[in-house]
Structure formats: structure tokens, C-alpha cells
Structure 1
Amino acid sequence: MADGDGLGEAATAAASPPAPAPGLSPSLGWRERLRAGLAGVPLRLCENLAAVTVFLNSLTPKFYVALTGTSSLISGLIFIFEWWYFHKHGTSFIEQVSVSHLRPLMGGTESSISEPGSSSSTRESETSRQNLSECKVWRNPLNLFRGAEYRRYTWVTGKEPLTYCDMNLSAQDHQTFFTCDTDFLRPSDTVMQKAWRERNPPARIKAAYQALELNNDCATAYVLLAEEEATTIVDAERLFKQALKAGETIYRRSQQCQHQSPQHEAQLRRDTNVLVYIKRRLAMCARKLGRIREAVKIMRDLMKEFPPLTMLNIHENLLESLLELQAYADVQAVLAKYDDISLPKSAAICYTAALLKTRTVSDKFSPETASRRGLSTAEINAVEAIHRAVEFNPHVPKYLLEMKSLILPPEHILKRGDSEAIAYAFFHLQHWKRIEGALNLLQCTWEGSFHHVSVYPKKELPFFIHFTAGLCSSTAMIALLTHEFPEIMGVFAKASNKKKKNCINPWRCGMPEFLKKEKLLLSGRSFSHLL
């Protein structure tokens, strides 16, 4: 019986929970532990702030002088870099980095997502497309011939008229227009593919002759010889006519095989580009040789036959030829078709529209008369057209008014940049001079909309530039005052520290409401020393 009683007591002891150790409070639940941890946060915060206060009080005025001097130096460097970057690129570097890199990381792009069919999505896509078209480097639609025109400058001055970057972009264009994935099927096209990548002009010309030896109907070989070997426009036109004959034959052959495979479709696109390029250059040859009506006919036929190729900007060649014919009604008709918000603007379109408005009032315009009686409706329209053109590209008036000397236009231009202004003025200055009083009206009105940075529409200086300028100025002023009046600045710093001390204890500034309710739950602790 004793053994049975002992076994029963042992079982009861095993089933019952262990007794808490002496001196320890019963275990708390997770809610109580969380509340206890939250209650300890203000205490640790007070200790950390007190340690920081002791450290700041131990600092000497020399440390503050060094700190403000270093910060002013860094702020000055940031300000100078921001100013240089803004004048060079037309945008703030910090703003660009924050919008392009930091905003996606912080999830800023999600808020701008809208439905594909919504009006906001359409406006954003149009704006982005316009910005991309303005930042893109475009091929100059009126570019000169290398052999017949650019080389003359080299003969006279011994200098190269084109930069390496410009020629490199042209080489990329040639490879895009005149090559495709099926070039390996024809030996002549394989040779020309290497020729377009050559940097040395004699090597390119030699490769073109090798391609003609392999295939006498190689259109791209004739194109290269017409562009770079021909020393006169007449020779270039002769070679382009040979290229046209070969190009039309190849184009008809590609049209018949275009549906056989994707490779044949790519070959048709390449042959189409070659044919359009040849006809366009033939039109430019006719324009330079005085056969302007023939040039206009070729350009109109091109625009009707290949309407999708608006990226080549053939309408700008047509505008210049029609201005030479003084066919202003036809110029207005072309502008009405291509001066559309959905198409990328250009200096040729904006300034030609301004020229047509100016032509109606320029012969009778006088600044003295306008100041006395005011501007008429036609004069207001002309002035507004000039302002819109100057707003788009502010560099053009200085070249039209011959305030800056002209140079040979490059083969590539940046929309709304100085390169586009040079290219426009080089070919259109004569049209402005032909209309009496047009340059006079331009001279009287262009400065009202002039701005150094070609940004359309005009933008104010970004906030970051103002912020850096203010930060730089304030830190430099503090450093100067601390260096000149260390005692006064020391007293001011101590007064600021004392003011911070008064609110350094969060319990004095006001106990959090949840702690007021929960302090009674924590037994064994007193909050009286904090109140």
C-alpha cells in the first residue's frame, strides 16, 4: 500500500506544472511582454539623447568652423557642377537622377500607371514621344555631298569639315539603310557590308569597285562612289542614275519574292531604302544644278509612293525647293500637312511658317510706326509666329542676322540645337533675304523670346539649384561668422543646445497616451521619477 501511495504521488507531481523558482515573477503573456518592451523604449531613447548632448557640449568652436567650412566647400562644388550640367544639358543632374533612378526604386512609377485607353495615358505617350524625338540625333535632310562639296573645303583649308562622331553616325546610318541579314547570299553585298564599316575613304572606294567587279548592278556601290568619289555634282548625278537603274531592277525582283520568307521581307525593306535614298539624292542634284521643278516633281512622287518614310524628312527638301521657286501657296499647303502636333517639329517647319506670316507685313513694317499706332492683327500674327519659332530653336536668329558666322552644316543635327540652326540658316538665309523687311522684323522681335538653353517650353531653374545655392551661401556665412566672432557664436550655440535640452525628455513634452493607460499594468515599477 505504501508503494501504491508513492506511485500515485509521483504521477500527480509529474502531471502538475513545475513550481516557479523563488524570486521570479510568474511568466507573462506576449501582450504583457510587448507592453513592457514598448515602455522601455523612451528610457533608452532618453539615454541615447543624453549621450549625444554630452558629446555635442564637449565639442570646441574649431570643430564647428571645420564642419561648416567643409560643408560649404562641398555645397559649392555641388552648386558649380549643377550649374555646369544645367547649362550643358538643359536639366538638373540631381533632378534627373532622382526622377530616373530613385523614383522607380521608391515605387513612384506605380502612381502614374493609367488605363491604356485613357486620355492621361495618351497625353503621357505623346509627351514622351516628343521628348524622345527632340533628344534623338537626326540625319540632316539637306546634307551635302562628301566628294563634290565637303572635299572642296578640305582642298582649300586642309581641314576636315566633318567630325569623327558625325562620320561614325553616318556609317551607322549606311549600315542600317543599305545592309540586311541576307547580304551573305550575294558576294557584292558582302563586300559592301565591309565597305560601309571602313573608316578610310580610299578603302571604301576601293571596296565599291570590288563590288562592281563581282556584280555590275550593285546599286549601293554606285551610291558610295557618287557620295565620296565624284568631285562635281554632275558626276554624282551620273553615278546616281546608274544606281537608280540597278536599284529599280533589284527592287522589282524583291517585290516578287517578298512573301516567301521573313528574310525576303527584310531584303525588300533594304532595297526600298536604297531606292528612296537614290531618288532623293537625284532630286537634290537637280536642285543644285538649277532644275528646281524637276526636283520638286521627284520629291512629290517620292512622298506619294512611299508615305511611311516620313522619318527621312523629305518634306523639308520640298519646302526649300518651293521657297526657291517662290511658290508660297504650295509652301503653305505643305506646312498645313506636316505642321502637326503628332509629328516631330523642326526649325525648317517653325521658321518657314514664321517667314510666310512675316512676308505679308514685312515690307511695310516700321518699329517707329508700330510704337505709335500699335501692331495690326497681321503684324501680331507674324510676331507670334517668330516667337514660337525662337522658342523652339533660339540659335537660328543669330545665324540669319549674321551675328554668328556660318560653317558647313553637319551630316547629323540635334533638334532645337545649334547644329540644326546652322543647317537651317545655311540653306534658308537666301530665302529670308529675298523677302524685303523680313530680317528687319526678325531683328526687332526675336530677342523677346530668346533663351540660352534650348528647352521647349522654357523652364525655370530647378529647385535643386536654388536649394544648393542657398545651402552653400548659408554654410559659408556660418563659417565666416564663427571664424570672426567665435565667442558670440559659442554663446548662440549653447543657447540653442539649452533650448533643445528642455524638450529632450519625451515624458516632459507629454507622455504618450497608450503609456498612461498601460503603466499601471507593470507591477513593481515606478514612473514618478520621470514625471
Structure 2
Amino acid sequence: SMFLNTLTPKFYVALTGTSSLISGLILIFEWWYFRKYGTSFIEQVSVSHLRPLLGGVDNNSSNNSNSSNGDSDSNRQSVSECKVWRNPLNLFRGAEYNRYTWVTGREPLTYYDMNLSAQDHQTFFTCDSDHLRPADAIMQKAWRERNPQARISAAHEALEINECATAYILLAEEEATTIAEAEKLFKQALKAGDGCYRRSQQLQHHGSQYEAQHRRDTNVLVYIKRRLAMCARRLGRTREAVKMMRDLMKEFPLLSMFNIHENLLEALLELQAYADVQAVLAKYDDISLPKSATICYTAALLKARAVSDKFSPEAASRRGLSTAEMNAVEAIHRAVEFNPHVPK
């Protein structure tokens, strides 16, 4: 109380002014982030980072204190424990996710899934100079649009102006109802995107604006080629898909944010090329920091497969688990801990 009594009015004025300044800076940053990415930064941090931590603590304490709250409580707990994670094996929204909706009447994508996709689309497919080109300006707004039909209409509007690669991407992802249709649109996108990439490559050193445009054109080109490889795998041309992915990883080795190696793992497992799978894992699997369920479960599969032929429960109970068997068990535990929903 003595400390509070010694505070002067100047202190309170300074405190009020400082808090107002900080609040103003937060508001400006929040406005800028929303304009650039189409979502609230504070909401994104709260949902992606804070709520899983707080929800996990609350759920553990409630499980210890109340074990008979019924199915509704368990459902609430499972929802709050859920962590949204980017999925590099993502399906095509029009040809696969929408088909699931037509068959089951259920929506496979949550609001937060759509939010993550919207952020990725705006990061990869837009740049600050888009307003200088009419078609790109339309697509910049389209990626922020929440209504699917409005996005599709904007893509068609952009294509009326010129051959816009990102417009073809949006139509392939959302309007195409089959993988064959999506592949056809991605091939058109590749033709347009390759031309833009070559032009911006020659101008990238003329200034920061051209450098940003070239970076965007590179992202667009890599995304198109990756999706074409995924189309080939979906349509049964798995060996062709593997070659396309390997060539893409050699051509753009630094663009790891697309996680093309995980698409490659999926295709190699389908071909039962386990030695090649192990080679990819040796390069990308980090034991101390698991990157995805694909890597964790693939590593567990290979280790379990290596010991499965000679494994005997009776022998293991007598002599204990060997080193290889222990490694397999640890890999399985690691995978389930990373994502417990895959075995279901």
C-alpha cells in the first residue's frame, strides 16, 4: 500500500499512454495480417497453439476428478484435444472431398482446415505486385473469398482476361469433379505457369518487386507439378508419378515446404519399393522432431516389417525383445503418440 501511495499522477498518465500505444500497434498488426492472409492472427494463435495446451490440461484434470460424465463429456474432450495439422497428402477439394460429401452427407473439412488452406494459398499464389496485373488482382481476392462459388466465378473471370495459372489451379482443385478433369486443368495451368516462371526468372534481379513475383511464380510451378504427379498416382500411373516427384525434388531441392517427399513415400509404398522408401526416410526422418504422421508411420512400418517374419510371441516372452524388435515397438509408439487417429 505504501508503494501505491507514492505513485504520482504522471505514472498513471504514462501507464495509460503506453497501454494505448501497445493496443494500437496490436490493432494495426492484426489489421495488416487479416488483409494479407484473410484470417485473424490472434484467433489463429489461440486455436492452433494456446487452446490445445489449455484444453489438454483441463481434460486431464477432469478425467482424474470425474470418470462418469458420459459420452457427451468424452466427445467434448476429444474435440478440445484435437490439433489441426497441415496434410501434404491432401485430397482434391472438388474431385474427392466433395464426392465424400455427396455420398455421406457429411463435411470432411472443418473451418480450421479451410483456414489453413486459405493461408497457404495466399502465401504461395499471391505477391505484392498482383494489383498491377488485372487477372492476378482478381485471383488475389479469390483466394481470400470464403464462398466456394464466388472463388470459382472469380477464376473464370480471370481466365477471360488471360491464361492465368492460379485460376486454372483453383478450378482444378475446386470445380473439377473427377481426377481426370483436374489433371486436364493442371496441364493447362502448367503451360501458363511455365511461361510466367521463365519470364520472371529473367527479371528477378531487376528489383525486389520482380524478385517477389519470381518467388511466387516458382511456388505456383512447383505446386502444379506436384499436383500433376498426384493425379498420375490417383489414375494408376504410379511409376510415372514417382519419376515426376523425383525430377521435381532435383529441380527445386530447397522448396521443402511442399513436402513432396511425403507424396513420394506414398507412391513408393504402393510400388513396394521398400529400399527406396528407407532411403527417403534416412534423409527426411528426424527422430527428435517428428514432422508428420506419414513419416512416423512409414518408419514404424519398415521397422515392424523387418522383424515380422521371425517374430514369435512365445519366444519373445521367454527371451525378451531383441534390439530390432524394441526399435520397432518404439517406432510404433512414436507414430501413435504423434497421431493416434490413424490406426482407427
TM range (shorter): 0.7 to 0.9
Select the residue among 94, 105, 109 that pairs with 1:162: 109
1:174 matched to 2:174? no
Q: Which residue is 2:35 aligned to?
A: none
Q: Which residue is 1:503 aligned to?
A: none
TM-score by length of 2: 0.73
Q: Which residue is 1:254 aligned to?
A: 200
- Which residue identity lines up with residue 154 of structure 1 in the other structure? T
- CA separation in 1, counterparts of 2:261 and 2:136? 30
**1:85 Cα offset (Å):** 5.1
Partner SS state of residue 236, structure 1: helix
1:271 matched to 2:226? no
Structure label with greater radius of gyration: 1
Select the residue among 219, 225, 232 that pairs with 2:165: 219
Partner SS state of residue 184, structure 1: helix
Q: How many residues align?
A: 272
Q: Which residue is 1:189 aligned to?
A: 136
- Which residue identity lines up with residue 194 of structure 1 in the other structure? K
**1:137 Cα offset (Å):** 5.7
Point out where structure 1 has 5 or more consecutive residues left out of the alignment: 1-81, 91-134, 405-531
Q: Which residue is 1:142 aligned to?
A: 89
Query: Could you give the per-residue CA deviations for residues 12-67 of structure 1, whole angstroms, max 9, x where no partner exists?
Result: xxxxxxxxxxxxxxxxxxxxxxxxxxxxxxxxxxxxxxxxxxxxxxxxxxxxxxxx
**1:347 Cα offset (Å):** 2.2
**1:342 Cα offset (Å):** 8.1
Q: Which residue is 2:57 aligned to?
A: 86
Would the alpha carbon gap of residues 194 and 388 (structure 1) be closer, same or farther in structure 2, given more than 3 Å must change?
closer
- CA separation in 1, counterparts of 2:269 and 2:124? 29
- CA separation in 1, counterparts of 2:333 and 2:290? 18
- CA separation in 2, counterparts of 1:83 and 1:288? 40
**1:350 Cα offset (Å):** 2.2
Identity of aligned residues (%): 80
Query: Could you give the per-residue CA deviations for residues 271-317 of structure 1, whole angstroms, max 9, x where no partner exists?
Result: 01100110110011011111111111111111111111112211111
- CA separation in 1, counterparts of 2:119 and 2:323? 48
Partner SS state of residue 241, structure 2: helix
Q: Which residue is 1:360 aligned to?
A: 306
Select the residue among 272, 285, 294 that pairs with 2:231: 285
Would the alpha carbon gap of residues 84 and 219 (structure 1) be closer, same or farther in structure 2, given more than 3 Å must change?
closer
Q: Which residue is 2:267 aligned to?
A: 321
User: Relative contact order (C-alpha < 8 Å, sep 6+): which is higher?
Assistant: 1
**1:188 Cα offset (Å):** 0.5
TM-score by length of 1: 0.48
Query: Could you give the per-residue CA deviations for residues 144-187 of structure 1, whole angstroms, max 9, x where no partner exists?
Result: 11110111122123332211222122122111111111111111
1:395 matched to 2:337? no
- Which residue identity lines up with residue 227 of structure 1 in the other structure? E
- CA separation in 2, counterparts of 1:267 and 1:83? 40
Q: Which residue is 2:329 aligned to?
A: 383
1:312 matched to 2:290? no
Query: Could you give the per-residue CA deviations for residues 323-378 of structure 1, whole angstroms, max 9, x where no partner exists?
Result: 11100100111111112368753222222112111112213323223213433343
Partner SS state of residue 205, structure 2: coil
- CA separation in 1, counterparts of 2:177 and 2:222? 23
Would the alpha carbon gap of residues 272 and 342 (structure 1) be closer, same or farther in structure 2, given more than 3 Å must change?
farther
- CA separation in 2, counterparts of 1:264 and 1:342? 39
Point out where structure 2 has 5 or more consecutive residues left out of the alignment: 1-52, 62-81
Would the alpha carbon gap of residues 388 and 194 (structure 1) be closer, same or farther in structure 2, given more than 3 Å must change?
closer
1:200 matched to 2:147? yes
Partner SS state of residue 340, structure 1: coil
- CA separation in 1, counterparts of 2:201 and 2:325? 53
Select the residue among 149, 156, 160 that pairs with 1:209: 156
**1:83 Cα offset (Å):** 8.9
Select the residue among 282, 292, 300 that pairs with 1:346: 292
